[in-house]
Homo-oligomer: A and B are copies of this chain.
Amino acid sequence: MEYIESIRNEQIKNAVKLQTKKYQIKENAYFLEGPHLINEAVAAGVPLQQLLITENHEDDHVVKQYYDNSWVIADNVAKHLAATETNQGMFAIAPIPTMTLPEQISGGWLLLDAVQDPGNVGTMIRTADAAGYAGVIIGTGTAWPFNPKVVRAMQGSQFHLRLVQMPLADAIAQFQAAQAPVYGTLVNQDAVDYRTVKPTGTFGLVIGNEGNGMNPELAKETTANLVIPLPGKAESLNAAIAAGVLMFQMV
């Protein structure tokens, strides 16, 4: 295995650049950090393009599997690549998956309408995965899912469900064509108590922007708008909490 000892090595420069959206789109690849995420990727059959490891990982099972695409890096290089103070000496370059809606939609889908906070987007994707949803549709204005903060919060869920990027108006039209209900979350006088809805089969659930909620134009196209009644004094829930409560109602 080749040894990389300088942060000026081209591969290392490339790995750093693969933490930015612009370069990720250009190269159709992104950066993964840590054995947990990398093992999840391998378990899901993701063809890693490069594995960059410190010496202590040379005998790891995953390294043997990707031997031809593995490089040993010096500790200072690992430190340079890591987002966190304490790095675990394992990094990878993974391909960005196909981000289109399957022709036949089935199962539960989470639709994100301009959800801006990367931590919220990552947590919502992780929750959708835990709740058994088929995929998450990233609408216009929503944080890019391969932003390192989203990747950290997703905890590997991108390997378990389908991520799709498209305007939500188009996505909703496709659910309508498939005669599948789409539930919105615009709080208006027609909104119904979320506990009265328990869809089975194929459906969509739209979560809106943290501050402004869901786009009213989109909400006109939904089957119903759901509201979580709040018996207490707080005016609203954190967007990721609201999404979690709704998603688990719809399991």
Listed in ascending order, the chain A residues whose CB lies under 8 Å from chain B are: 123, 126-133, 153, 155-157, 160-161, 228, 230-234, 236-238, 240-241, 244-245, 248, 251
Do A131 and B248 touch (CB < 8 A)? Answer: no
Do B244 and A130 touch (CB < 8 A)? Answer: no
Q: How many copies does the complex hold?
A: 2
Do B129 and A238 touch (CB < 8 A)? Answer: no
**A241 CB contact (under 8 Å) in B133, B234, B241:** B241
Q: Chain B residues near A131 (CB, 8 Å)?
A: 230-232
Given contacts A240-B241, A244-B241, A245-B244, contact A126 B251 (CB under 8 A): no
Do A161 and B245 touch (CB < 8 A)? Answer: no
**A127 CB contact (under 8 Å) in B126, B127, B156, B238:** B238
Q: Chain B residues near A127 (CB, 8 Å)?
A: 234, 237-238, 241
Dominant secondary structure of chain A at its interface with chain B: loop
16 chain-A/chain-B pairs, Cβ below 8 angstroms: A123-B241, A126-B237, A127-B237, A129-B232, A129-B233, A130-B233, A130-B236, A131-B230, A131-B232, A132-B232, A153-B238, A156-B234, A238-B240, A240-B241, A244-B244, A245-B248
Given contacts A160-B232, A161-B232, A232-B160, contact A130 B237 (CB under 8 A): yes
Do A238 and B123 touch (CB < 8 A)? Answer: yes
- Residue in A128, A132, A236 whose Cβ sees the most chain B Cβ within 10 Å: A132
Do A132 and B251 touch (CB < 8 A)? Answer: no
| A57-B238 Cα distance, complex, nearest whole Å | 28
| A190-B236 Cα distance, complex, nearest whole Å | 34
Q: Chain B residues near A160 (CB, 8 Å)?
A: 232-234
| A233-B157 Cα distance, complex, nearest whole Å | 8
| A237-B122 Cα distance, complex, nearest whole Å | 12
| A234-B232 Cα distance, complex, nearest whole Å | 31
A127-B237, A130-B233 given; 19 more Cβ-contact pairs under 8 Å: A123-B238, A123-B241, A126-B234, A126-B237, A128-B232, A129-B233, A130-B237, A131-B232, A132-B230, A132-B231, A133-B232, A153-B238, A160-B234, A228-B248, A231-B251, A238-B240, A240-B241, A241-B244, A244-B244
Q: Chain B residues near A155 (CB, 8 Å)?
A: 234
Q: State how many angstroms separate the Cβ of A119 from the closest Cβ of chain B.
A: 8
Q: Chain B residues near A133 (CB, 8 Å)?
A: 232
